[in-house]
């Protein structure tokens, strides 16, 4: 099973929305379309929420994983890895994410769709 992972982006709608629509960045939208079409399932990585499913309803937020403490990022990464392994055992992940998110996904079997900057 191939599961897509797309990291969130800064640009968001200003109203509550499904996660798949909340994030407005072109790279996010391009990657989301790709993984939705080519993967068995997909999730969004949020620095604030961890794993977000495309149909989760979220309020807009402003949160930058890069500005968090080392301990926060380590705990966040451990939680993300655990949840991905539990929800998708044995999966290969196709990832479209920026560097801070890629670093957090240590130990998962994955291919990089593309690296996003920022």
Region of 9 on the Ramachandran plot (φ > 0 left; ψ -120 to 50 alpha; else beta): beta
pLDDT higher than 70, residue 116:
no
Going by C-alpha positions, the residue among 29, 59, 31, 64 that lies closest to residue 46 is 64
pLDDT in tens, 17-71: 999 999 999 999 999 999 999 999 999 999 999 999 999 999 999 999 989 999 9
Helices H / strands E in the chain, number of each: 4, 7
Region of 78 on the Ramachandran plot (φ > 0 left; ψ -120 to 50 alpha; else beta): alpha
Task: Please report which confidence band the pLDDT of residue 14 belongs to, taking 50, 70 and 90 as the band edges.
Answer: very high
Length of the chain measured in residues: 118
- Residue 100 sits at φ, ψ, to 5 deg, of -60, -35
pLDDT in tens, 92-103: 888 888 877 887
């Amino acid at each position: 099973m191939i599961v897509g992972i797309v990291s969130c982006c800064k640009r968001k709608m200003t109203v509550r929305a499904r996660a798949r629509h909340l994030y407005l960045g072109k790279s996010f939208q391009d990657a989301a379309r790709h993984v939705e079409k080519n993967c068995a399932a997909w999730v969004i990585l949020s620095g604030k929420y961890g794993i977000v499913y495309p149909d989760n309803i979220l309020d807009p937020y402003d949160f930058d994983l890069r500005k968090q403490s080392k301990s926060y990022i380590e705990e966040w990464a451990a939680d993300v890895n655990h949840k991905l392994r539990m929800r998708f055992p044995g999966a290969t992940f196709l990832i479209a994410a920026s560097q801070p998110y890629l670093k957090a996904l240590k130990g998962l079997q994955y291919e990089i769709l593309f690296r996003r900057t920022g």
